Copies of this chain bind each other. A is one copy, B any other.
């Protein structure tokens, strides 16, 4: 594939990702990942010290699905929405069919009463498997700049 086409596909995957989350079409979210995958949210405090603890860590597409079950039917929380911004997306390395990518994300959270806040900001460290079909995340590690979470985190970032 040409590099501009790869970039286009990767960019498109990112657009679909934020669209699905920000539109709360949670059920589609696991399908942006390969069956065997890693999705992990870790704070920079732990990441930089080499501490393995994450805020959320899904080691299979099943675990992604379970997070959707959690937020749909299990957990108690106040309804809210995310709004993503992404900048600085770059493909850092391509190895066969896998692209290692990186980007800056920002999530604004809006609560029921309208309160908005900068909920999370940081980087996406991705491994993306390129097509024949649409590209999929093999790995997405979300490194959040802030060491703390306001109230709770129930939606993936």
Residues of A within 8 A of B (CB): 12, 14-15, 18-19, 22, 44, 81, 83-90, 102, 104, 106, 108, 110, 112-118, 121-123, 145-148
Contacts and interface: CB of A to CB of B under 8 A. Distances in A.
A15 B145 contact: no
B145 A81 contact: yes
Given A15-B90, A19-B90, A90-B15, A84 B104 contact: yes
13 contacts: A18-B104, A22-B104, A83-B122, A83-B145, A85-B86, A85-B106, A108-B145, A112-B147, A114-B146, A116-B118, A116-B121, A116-B146, A118-B118
Contacts of A112: 147
A106 B108 CA distance: 9
A115 B14 CA distance: 27
